[in-house]
Amino acid sequence: MNNDGLLTKSDLQKNYRIVKMSIESVEVERIIEQADFNGNGAIDYTDWLAVSNCWGEMLTENKLIMAFNYFAEDGLIKAETL
């Protein structure tokens, strides 16, 4: 949000509010803790790449199709479903 190259706890909370979603502080803590590989208390570009690589391994096409089908009704996922 401030173009410093870091995604902080505060940034996460602000962005969730922007998209009108709520998130508990403990969940923000968990996200940062799991993605902050270098321990600086925020997600930087190197952390982001590492997480993206992990997600790429976990999100196979079949898993994405299964997840979509779980939430989809008539081939669409409605906002209220999310």
Q: What is the pLDDT of residues 33-74, one digit of tens each?
A: 888 988 999 989 888 888 777 665 655 666 667 777 777 777
In this prediction, residues 8-34 reach a mean pLDDT of 83
Half-sphere exposure of 28 (CA within 13 A, CB side): 18
Q: For position 66, what pLDDT does the model report?
A: 74
What would the two tokens of residue 49 be?
Answer: 């790449």
Question: Which residue type, as a one-letter code, is found at position 24?
Answer: E
Distance of CA 74 to CAs 5, 19, 68, Å? Answer: 40, 25, 11
Q: For position 19, what pLDDT does the model report?
A: 76
Q: What is the CATH number of domain 9-81?
A: 1.10.238
Domain residue spans of the chain: 9-81
